[in-house]
């Protein structure tokens, strides 16, 4: 989770770790192509920008491991 660990915002980092651990690279890729998930944004208390950054960062870490 090298890329995730570089995130400065605590909420974004926490959500990115959640995404990395819970979703596959394929699932994250699909999520990144769509709109931010409103329910996850509300649950985690993050903005659309933070959601997008977290998903993209988790996906990048998955790709780096592959």
Query: How many other C-beta atoms can be found within 10 angstroms of the C-beta atom of residue 66?
Result: 6
* pLDDT in 10s for each residue of the chain, 66 residues: 999 999 999 999 999 999 999 999 999 999 999 999 999 999 999 999 999 999 999 999 999 997
Residue 41 tokens, joined? 């944004």
pLDDT of residue 66: 79
Q: Which residues contact 48 (CB under 8 A, 6 or more apart)?
A: 36, 41
CA atoms within 13 A on the CB side of 31: 24
pLDDT of residue 23: 97
* Domain containing residue 43: 1-63
Helix, coil or strand: residue 1 = coil
Closest CA to 1 of 61, 60, 66, 59: 61
Domain count, the chain: 1
């Amino acid at each position: 989770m090298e890329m995730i660990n570089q995130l400065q915002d605590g909420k974004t980092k926490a959500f990115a770790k959640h995404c990395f651990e819970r979703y596959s690279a394929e699932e994250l890729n699909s999520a990144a192509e769509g709109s931010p998930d409103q329910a996850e944004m509300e649950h985690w208390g993050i903005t659309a920008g933070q959601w997008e950054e977290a998903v993209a960062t988790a996906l990048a870490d998955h790709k780096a491991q592959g």
